[in-house]
Amino acid sequence: MSIALPLEYDEKSLITACAQGERWAQKALYEEHYSRMMGVCLRYSNDQEEALDVLHEGFIKVFKNIRKYQPGTSLSAWIRRIMVNTAIDYYRKNTRRRTEDIEQAYDLSTADADAISQCTEKEILDAIQKLSPAYRAVFNLYVIEGYSHKEIAEMLDITESTSRSNLVKARSKLQALLSSRSYGYGEEESDRPNH
């Protein structure tokens, strides 16, 4: 059965059409949520290409499971959850885990947080992508997604202390990367005109 493309469609008819495998509906859903979900995938990935892999794998899961979506809940939040879980699955498949003790993290010092406020969104995203997959996953799950260390430990099959340690190290590494960027961009001190 084919559903004709209405000029204006509501979420329910779009979901119904996606569940029936209608290409126009899948394309519309993909295009509507692409940029927001790409942002989610970029935070968990090393680069744009890897983020696209995660995004496409995530949308395949969305289309396969669209019948499980509960009307009345946020479709965007449902898709986001699938993208985060797809990114976690990708992390598990493509990284070797190192367990590090929390005591090692206490020796790390932090840089000036004020440097971070001077960075652009792209600079921050680039810095997150430079983190190791383990640090990046814990940072995103804790700081962005709001999971507890216990939940992260279960998701990533690590200990809670490793999750805490990786978060401390991720923050320290991000601050170092962003501090060096904020002071490393633009003109050198000697190149600036004197006023």
Residue-wise pLDDT for 28-56, tens only, equals: 999 999 999 999 999 998 889 999 999 99
110 and 175 fall within a common domain = yes
pLDDT the model gives residue 92: 83
Q: Is 194 part of any domain?
A: no
Q: Domain range spanning residue 69?
A: 11-94
**Alpha-carbon distance 89 to 189, whole Å?**
46
Read off the CATH number of the domain in which 40 is found: 1.10.1740.10
Give percent above pLDDT 90 in the chain. Answer: 49
What angle (nearest 5°) sits at the alpha carbon of residue 29, between those of residues 25 and 35?
150
Instruction: Report residue 180 CA to chain centroid gap.
Output: 23
Domain assignment present for residue 160? The answer is yes
Q: Phi, psi (5° rounding) for residue 110?
A: -110, 150
- Residue 120 domain-assigned (yes or no): yes
Q: Is residue 190 part of a domain?
A: no
**Considering the domain boundaries, does residue 140 fall inside one?**
yes
Q: Give every CB contact of residue 27 below 8 A, 6+ residues apart in sequence.
A: none
179 assigned to some structural domain: yes
Amino acid 110: pLDDT: 45
Confidence grade of residue 181 (pLDDT, cut at 50, 70, 90): low
Residue indicated by tokens 């997959």: 133
Over residues 98-136, the pLDDT tens digits come to 444 444 444 444 444 445 556 677 888 888 889 999 999
Q: Are residues 110 and 79 in the same domain?
A: no
**Is there a single domain that holds both residue 87 and residue 113?**
no
Indicate whether 90 pLDDT > 50: yes
Helix (H, G, I), strand (E, B) or coil at 73: coil
Total number of domains in the chain: 2
Q: Is residue 29 domain-shared with residue 62, that is, in the same domain?
A: yes
Same domain, 135 and 162: yes
Examine residue 88 and state whether it is found in any structural domain, yes or no: yes
pTM over 0.85: no
Query: 67-73 long-range contacts, Cβ below 8 Å, gap at least 24?
Result: 67/19, 69/15, 71/12, 71/15
Tokens of 1: 């059965």
When pLDDT is averaged across residues 171-195 and rounded to a whole number, the result is: 61
Token pair of 182 as six digits: 């904020």
- Residue 151 CA to residue 3 CA, distance in Å, equals 42
For the stretch 51-83, pLDDT in tens is 999 999 999 999 999 999 998 889 999 999 999
Say if 5 falls within a structural domain.
no
